[in-house]
Amino acid sequence: MRIYADENMPLVQQFFSDLGQVTLFDGRNACAQQLADADVLLVRSVTNVNQTLLQANSTLSFVGTATIGLDHIDQAYLDQRQIPFVNAPGCNAQSVVEYVLSSLWYLAQRYQWQLSAKTIAVVGVGNIGSRLAKALTILGAKVLLCDPIRQQHEPDFPHTDFSTVCREADIISFHTPLQSEGEFATEHLLNAQTLAQLKPDCAIINAARGGIIDNKALLAEAESLAKLGKKRPLVLDVWEHEPTILMPLLAFADIATAHIAGHSIEGKARGTEMLYQSLCQQLNIAPKYQLSQFLATPAVEKVQINPNFGLPDVQSLARLLYDVARDDAIFRYTLNNKGFDWIRKTYPARREFSSLQLSGTAVPNWLLQLGFSLEQ
């Protein structure tokens, strides 16, 4: 079996080498001839899987993307060719949540906020949005949920329409897929018109897809606000037209990163594991490996919690594992010289909250709900 996998997919050799010959390729620059003899194709969001890519291949029997999003996959074409396809929903959800929390703590410190006094809207309440909403509630924020698809299918879902979100939210965090057409289209959901409806100091966080926000409109608004001596807090992990970004927008972002919100070791490797399990199921064989076999001991493994530990202390605890300001600094320093994809490819090791084991006489349950672990 010939297995072709994105070169930036972690642990792919460890999981898949027993199933066939694994060949790694540059996902951003994949071409049809390169994949002509593939039996299995494993990709990430940078590879558009469509007729153009697969036109030279007649042997493909499995396509998997180690991502939640599907906007890079032509599912209709795969269905037409009867090629089984799977994605990895929720694989990096916790990683994205931790990125957003780190960004919020950064903004709170910079602008002297109390998050518990803020109304935070979560737009898109799937795997990531649901976890984020739970975490924000634990931290004491008022949370608005905006997801018209869930409202349509769940009569009791507490949906807040986007117009109300624009008027009432102090912070908006986007977690929708990118849809360019249809009743629930999200492309340019935030545009010149909807930006004008926001509170002047409403913070924007986008760790979903770049095209959800009209980047040119966002830049125009930022430039107009700057002329008035004002600034909207802004966190951008995703950008329109990646890897080529709208460079002038970078100067107005408080936090700017290279589409790495979901790039924890666990988040990326969990996607690989999920594809491995799906392929094993298709082949009707029992999975031989699981992620825990391959994870290294973290640099900081255990912390003792003082009985007086409270909500104000959680930021310091989280920083033992991740500080988004580091990724922002790397992005600004290396983007022009090394490029967007180089930053993603060489992203340093980052562990999730679950890798940190907490001990003490009274570890608060809410810390475990945020994702930290009890000492084993």
Sorted by where each starts, the structural domains of the chain and their CATH numbers stand as 2-87+264-293 (3.40.50.720), 93-256 (3.40.50.720), 302-374 (3.30.1370.170)
pTM of the model: 0.89
In the set 242, 266, 273, 352, the catalytic residue is: 242
In the set 28, 131, 175, 209, the catalytic residue is: 209
The whole-number pLDDT of residue 376 equals 78
In the set 159, 175, 259, 351, the catalytic residue is: 259
Q: Is 259 a catalytic residue?
A: yes
**pLDDT tens-digit series, residues 120-164:** 999 999 999 999 999 999 999 999 999 999 999 999 999 999 999
Q: What is the mean pLDDT of residues 36-63?
A: 97
Percentage of the residues of the chain whose pLDDT score is greater than 70: 100
Q: Looking at the predicted structure, is the pLDDT value of residue 82 above 90?
A: yes
The whole-number pLDDT of residue 303 equals 96
pLDDT band at 325 (very low <50, low <70, confident <90, very high): very high
pLDDT band at 362 (very low <50, low <70, confident <90, very high): confident
Q: Looking at the predicted structure, is the pLDDT value of residue 70 above 90?
A: no
Q: How far is Cα 353 from Cα 114, in angstroms, rounded to an integer?
A: 22
**pLDDT tens-digit series, residues 169-221:** 999 999 999 999 999 999 999 999 999 999 999 999 999 999 999 999 999 99
- Residue 262 marked as a ligand binder: yes
The whole-number pLDDT of residue 274 equals 97
pLDDT band at 69 (very low <50, low <70, confident <90, very high): confident
C-alpha separations of 84 from 38, 56, 78, 120, 289 in Å: 14, 18, 7, 39, 22
- Residue 147 marked as a ligand binder: yes
- Residue 176 marked as a ligand binder: yes
Q: Is 81 a catalytic residue?
A: no
Q: Is 188 a catalytic residue?
A: no
